[in-house]
Chains A and B, each alone.
Chain A
Amino acid sequence: AQSVTQLDSQVPVFEEAPVELRCNYSSSVSVYLFWYVQYPNQGLQLLLKYLSGSTLVKGINGFEAEFNKSQTSFHLRKPSVHISDTAEYFCAVSDWGAQKLVFGQGTRLTINP
């Protein structure tokens, strides 16, 4: 069965500092990988996705993630964060050809001025 582990439940960083949110998955088959973001009082929205091809994926708002098959990881990064990036971030995985997503527990990113 698939599973997703987000290693940090909370990550506090200062504004304009770099950030990495860690995600590891387990699956017996090839996968698609996603990061979703949930801003306060809003629904989940897609940040970026990896389906195939280049392992470095760029998303909205300056975020990027790198798929590492050997380490079964899909860590999310941003070189310089802003106050507006304060949100909950969810990593998710689905099997090739499958429709349902399995989500991690989420990482709460807090940006301090």
Chain B
Amino acid sequence: GAGVSQTPSNKVTEKGKYVELRCDPISGHTALYWYRQSLGQGPEFLIYFQGTGAADDSGLPNDRFFAVRPEGSVSTLKIQRTERGDSAVYLCASSLWGYNSPLHFGNGTRLTVT
């Protein structure tokens, strides 16, 4: 079946611009996660949703970052006034609800801020 889909796969933007990154989770997965992976590092937690609500947004680095999941399926990560330090691969994952349900990751969106 279809896995987690992330679009675009690559995004180049200028410093100061606004970007949106999209994630389509696996159908039926109620939990959705966003992670950020910088070069040479492991994924770093940003936010996760249970259904439509953000259950934990403690990883969002500052108020320039915001994510929504209005219908409990597709999610959009929004970054305002991008900075060069925001350059990274943004990973989305989804899972069934439950602490022992494995996360299924997408291939990520590589964001480059010039």
Contacts and interface: CB of A to CB of B under 8 A. Distances in A.
Interface stretch (A14-22, A43-51, A66-74, A78-86): A43-51
Contact of A100 (B3, B40, B41, B56): B56
Pick the 7 closest A-B CB pairs, nearest first: A103-B42, A44-B105, A43-B105, A46-B102, A43-B107, A100-B45, A103-B43
Nearest to A45: B105
A43 B91 contact: yes
B90 interface: no
A90 interface: yes
Interface residues of B, number: 27
Interface of B: 3-4, 31, 33, 35, 40-45, 48, 50, 55-56, 59, 91, 93, 99-100, 102-108
B99 A96 contact: yes
Contact of A99 (B41, B43, B56, B91): B56
A60 B100 CA distance: 17
A106 B108 contact: no
A100 B100 contact: no
Q: Which of A43, A46, A96 gathers most chain B CB within 10 Å?
A: A43
A43 B108 contact: yes
Nearest to A48: B102
Nearest to A34: B102
Interface of A: 4, 6, 9, 32, 36, 41-46, 49, 51, 90, 92, 94, 96-106
Among A32, A46, A90, find the residue whose CB has the most chain B CB atoms closer than 10 A.
Answer: A46
B103 A101 contact: yes
B56 to A, nearest CB: 6
Given A44-B43, A100-B33, A105-B42, 19 more contacts: A4-B42, A6-B42, A41-B107, A43-B4, A43-B106, A43-B108, A44-B105, A45-B104, A46-B103, A49-B100, A51-B99, A99-B48, A99-B99, A100-B45, A100-B48, A101-B43, A103-B42, A103-B44, A105-B40
Contacts of A106: 40-42
B107 A42 contact: yes
Contacts of A101: 43, 45, 103
